[in-house]
């Protein structure tokens, strides 16, 4: 399967995508935003990978893409990201909060540090970035869209994932409540909840046996490609979803 062609769904808009370096969902979302006509600020804490991603995307899309490093656990860096994006492109329209951190540990062995790190990146990072973005969007007074990356693990139990599941369930609840806070400003806040999307980083932190088991639960017998999640994110960010807010869309073919 190949990604669909762009249809100008984000033409004239400025998008920020967090955790966009490399080959995962964030990088796919950044590329999809560009294919749909947006100017894009890609961000990641890993500056070398971020630079490589910007270079690769700029080779095709020119000055419609730039990069700003950001660790979403650092409030000062979050502020610099969104201020920098607004200054560079003159406005902000779309934010895709993709930053998240997983890992596997039984609750019997999980340390405070493991729990706090996953929650700080995955849930608190989404909060920090959303807050910074919404303040800019409200000031602009022209609406906008936030798309958060949750996970079906926020709904479905999986051994060894208590910290990640709690964080992603938090992202879902945060999305719903935040949507009500800003609906009066014409700003939409939604989330996607992928089941399994394959990329090299996932293979590094998850066993091949577990990945095969999870893929076997999917109706198509395979994991999603990152672009298959990204296209749903772009739908939520686009004018095709003007009546959707506070929603969490499952990007899954998983059966019980």
Q: Are 218 and 196 in contact (CB under 8 A)?
A: yes
More confidently predicted of 198 and 169: 169
pLDDT tops 60 at residue 95: yes
What pLDDT, on the 0 to 100 scale, is given for residue 253? Answer: 77
Q: Is residue 3 part of a domain?
A: no
What is 52-110 written as a DSSP string? HHHHHHHHHHGGGEEE----TT-HHHHHHHHHHHHHHHS---EEEE---------TTT-
Containing structural domain, residue 217: 14-250
Q: Residue 213's pLDDT is what? A: 65
Q: What is the pLDDT of residue 177?
A: 98
The radius of gyration of the chain's CA atoms, rounded to the nearest angstrom, is 17
Q: Among 153, 152, 134, which residue's Cα sits nearest to residue 143?
A: 134
Residue 255 has pLDDT above 60, yes or no: no
Dump pLDDT digits (tens) for 178-229: 999 999 999 999 999 998 777 655 555 566 776 666 666 766 677 679 999 9
- CATH classification of the domain holding 137: 3.40.50.720
pLDDT at 204: 53
pLDDT at 195: 87
pTM (2 decimals)? 0.93
Mean pLDDT of all residues in the chain? 93
**164 in catalytic set:** yes
Residue 48 lies in a domain: yes
Domains contained in the chain, number: 1
Q: Is 124 a residue whose pLDDT tops 80?
A: yes
In the set 82, 89, 127, 164, the catalytic residue is: 164
pLDDT digits (tens, 9 = 90+) for 34-82: 999 999 999 999 999 999 999 999 999 999 999 999 999 999 999 999 9
pLDDT tens, residue by residue, 208-219: 776 666 666 766
Confidence band, pLDDT 50/70/90 cuts, at residue 116: very high
Per-residue confidence (pLDDT) for residue 200, from 0 to 100? 58
Give me the pLDDT at residue 246, please.
98
**Number of DSSP helices (H) and strands (E) in the chain, helices first:** 9, 7
For the cut 80, the answer to whether the pLDDT of residue 238 exceeds it is yes
Task: Say if 84 falls within a structural domain.
Answer: yes
pLDDT of residue 205: 53
Any domain includes 5: no
Q: For 103-124, what is the mean pLDDT? A: 97
How far is the C-alpha of 66 from the C-alpha of 42, rounded, in Å? 6
Give dist(CA 221, CA 46) in Å, integer: 33
Within a domain: residue 159?
Answer: yes
Residue 109 lies in a domain: yes
Instruction: Establish if 79 belongs to a structural domain.
Output: yes
188/134 Cα distance (integer angstroms): 10
Domain-located, residue 236: yes
In 3D, which of 5, 1, 35, 4 has the Cα closest to residue 17?
A: 35
């Amino acid at each position: 399967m190949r990604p669909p062609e762009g249809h100008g769904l984000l033409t004239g808009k400025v998008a920020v995508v967090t955790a966009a370096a490399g080959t995962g969902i964030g990088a796919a979302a950044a590329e999809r935003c560009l294919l749909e006509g947006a100017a894009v600020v890609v961000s990641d804490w890993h500056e070398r990978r971020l630079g490589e991603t910007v270079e690769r995307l700029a080779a095709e899309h020119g000055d419609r893409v730039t990069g700003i490093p950001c660790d979403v656990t650092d409030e000062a860096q979050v502020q610099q990201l969104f201020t920098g994006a607004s200054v560079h492109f003159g406005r902000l329209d779309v934010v895709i909060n993709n930053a998240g951190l997983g890992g596997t540990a039984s609750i019997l062995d999980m340390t405070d540090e493991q729990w706090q790190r996953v929650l700080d990146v995955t849930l608190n990072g989404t909060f920090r970035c959303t807050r910074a973005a919404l303040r800019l969007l409200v000031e602009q007074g022209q609406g906008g869209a936030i798309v958060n990356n949750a996970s079906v693990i926020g709904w479905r139990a999986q051994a060894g994932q208590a910290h990640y599941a709690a964080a992603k369930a938090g992202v879902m609840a945060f999305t719903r409540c935040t949507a009500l806070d800003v609906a009066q400003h014409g700003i939409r806040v939604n989330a996607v909840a992928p089941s399994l999307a394959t990329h090299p980083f996932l293979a590094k932190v998850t066993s091949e046996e577990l990945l095969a088991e999870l893929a076997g639960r999917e109706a198509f017998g395979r994991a999603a490609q990152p672009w298959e999640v990204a296209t749903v994110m772009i739908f939520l960010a686009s004018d095709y979803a003007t009546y959707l807010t506070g929603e969490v869309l499952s990007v899954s073919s998983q059966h019980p």
